[in-house]
A and B are shown apart, each in its own frame.
Chain A
Amino acid sequence: MSPGDLSALWLTLKLAGLVTLILLLLGTPLAWWLAHSRCRLKPAIEALVALPIVLPPSVLGFYLLVALGPHGPIGLVTQSLGLGTLPFTFAGLVLASIIYSLPFVVQPLQQAFAAIPPGLYEAAATLRARPLDRWLSIALPLARPGFLTAGILGFAHTLGEFGVVLMVGGNIEGETRVVSVQIYDHVEAMDYGAAHRLALTLLTLSFLVLVLLYRQRQPWRL
């Protein structure tokens, strides 16, 4: 594998890891809210979260590019904060991936939270547990399978993204050139051998991650 391949692989893992971590932090309160809210806006928020599943990545990437660009709403904010614009940077890629992979983290978490009988929190309250304590001692452990599924799906999905990366991140080595883009480059250059090596690596990696997912999805043993 060439130094370019290794750099792309490292960048991909870094991106997927960082995005998964941020998504678990942001997705947990969002999923909790979606699981328990009776707000009228809830269906709209749920649809918004789920949009990346149905939209072609290029559509999502296009709008992100416009929004993050020098005249876009997010671009104006980042410029006024002195951060410059985010397209074609690693930070922009992270932001785009967070939106792209959001449903894959939020949905399993939401399902896991919704499956916990609310009577258990009442029981915990009568056993002197404060609200945060109830969440940490009841919701968190009972939603553990949901967290594992969410983390693994978020990670795996970010590993495989291509369209959004190409639109928002472009193709800058060490900054935005992830494995999927590097493979595309190899194929463009008719270097099928190099493409094979990297493609097989990604395939194996994705397969292993999914095996991990399905192993923990087996009947929950206590």
Chain B
Amino acid sequence: MLSLRFDHAFADFRLQVDVRLPMQGVTAFFGPSGSGKTTLLRLIAGLEKPARGFLQVGTAVWQDGPQGLPTHQRRVGYVFQEARLFPHLSVAENLAYGQRRAGSPQGTQVDRARLLQMLGIEALLTRRPERLSGGEAQRVAIARALLTDPQILLMDEPLAALDAARKAEILPYLERLHAESQIPIIYVSHQFEEVARLADHLVLLEAGQVVASGPLSELTTRLDLPLAYRAEAEAIIDAQVVEHDTAFHLTRVAFAGGHLWLPLHSAPIGSLVRVRVRARDVSLTLAAQTGTSILNILPAVLTDLAEESDSQVMLGLDVGGTRFLSRVTRKSVSLLDLVPGKTVFAQIKGVAIVE
């Protein structure tokens, strides 16, 4: 468990945070610029000194009241927006810089060769940082941070300084890191797409306050939070590939509440994928429909609803324990007498893998 409690005031800004986070998977700090995401990350690393606070990472206490460990004594990995490689050192020397200083007694937990291969930087070792592309430099920076065998990896908008093509190049590496690394990651971003692809846990920040903290799938579908009212409001569901129908070019995935068909995908059977179901692609019927062109029909219970506008209502659905959103007209709510607790059938028109 990662416990954070900070009260940190700037000139015209105050960060007040009291939150507990899982020590596994990717936790995203998500919010608009100026919401305090980066400051919070810097407080965790000790790059910013709080007047007082409490910070516990696993069993290690890094900050207690006014007393905090200096950055170099925290087992933290930090990836900055810009790679911040040392220009006078080669890639190999940059990688060795932290690894040598961290030098854990049993040798580092991180398998260097495997890490370099995973990040695709084996061929760059003799290069100078000035001769790396932005994406390459950022991958080296990630490896450099991981080689210190950190208890936690902090990433401050690592893609923000890259153009779209470089982002697309580096995201698969981050996904692999997520899948293969045991190290918990805190990822700061204001791009929801990055968060949707990478995060398991989400911390929503606004004006220095935590608006909500919880699993990504929960927070994207909560009707009391702004994420459910984006034009692309959606449920994000972790699922497993169970079947490929090559005749009709379809793939079937299983999730906690049932199965979904989606266009044929290359992911092998058994692999874990993340699918998105947009609220506008989910319509409701009171009885199970036959003679419909829609393949994905799931029994659901309407749990809650909120008026989005004069004409539209957002509905929260429970499908065997998994939450979905459905955007319908206010008229439909009235015609079908949609009230919480009602059993309905969700017809899902579009399912896509998040990528």
Taking CB atoms, residues of chain B closer than 8 Å to A117 are: 84
Taking CB atoms, residues of chain A closer than 8 Å to B87 are: 142, 222
Complex contact B128–A123 (CB within 8 A): no
Kindly state the separation between the CA atoms of A51 and B280 in the bound complex, as whole angstroms: 73
Q: Which of A130, A138, A141, A222 makes the CB contact (< 8 A) with B72? A: A130
Complex contact A123–B72 (CB within 8 A): no
Complex contact A127–B70 (CB within 8 A): no
Binds A, one of B73-81, B181-189, B256-264, B309-317: B73-81
Q: Which of A119, A125, A137 makes the CB contact (< 8 A) with B71? A: A125
Taking CB atoms, residues of chain B closer than 8 Å to A127 are: 97-98, 101-102, 144-145, 148
Kindly state the separation between the CA atoms of A10 and B279 in the bound complex, as whole angstroms: 88
Complex contact B88–A119 (CB within 8 A): no
Complex contact A126–B97 (CB within 8 A): no
Kindly state the separation between the CA atoms of A125 and B45 in the bound complex, as whole angstroms: 9
Complex contact B72–A142 (CB within 8 A): no
Among residues of A, the one whose C-beta sits closest to the C-beta of B83 is: A123
Taking CB atoms, residues of chain B closer than 8 Å to A137 are: 97
Most chain B CB within 10 A, of A119, A126, A131, A137, is at A126
Complex contact B80–A125 (CB within 8 A): no
Known: A129-B72, A141-B88. A124 touches B97 (CB 8 A): yes
Complex contact B148–A123 (CB within 8 A): no
Complex contact A128–B102 (CB within 8 A): yes
Q: B125-143 interface mask toward A, CB cutoff 8 Å, 1 = contact, 0 = none?
A: 0001010000000000000
Complex contact A128–B88 (CB within 8 A): no
Taking CB atoms, residues of chain B closer than 8 Å to A141 are: 88
Say yes or no: is A191 at the interface (Cβ < 8 Å to chain B). no
Complex contact B84–A120 (CB within 8 A): yes
Complex contact B88–A142 (CB within 8 A): yes
| 8 A Cβ contacts from B32-60 to A | 45-47
Say yes or no: is A133 at the interface (Cβ < 8 Å to chain B). yes
Q: 3 closest A-B pairs (Cβ-Cβ)?
A: A127-B98, A126-B78, A128-B101
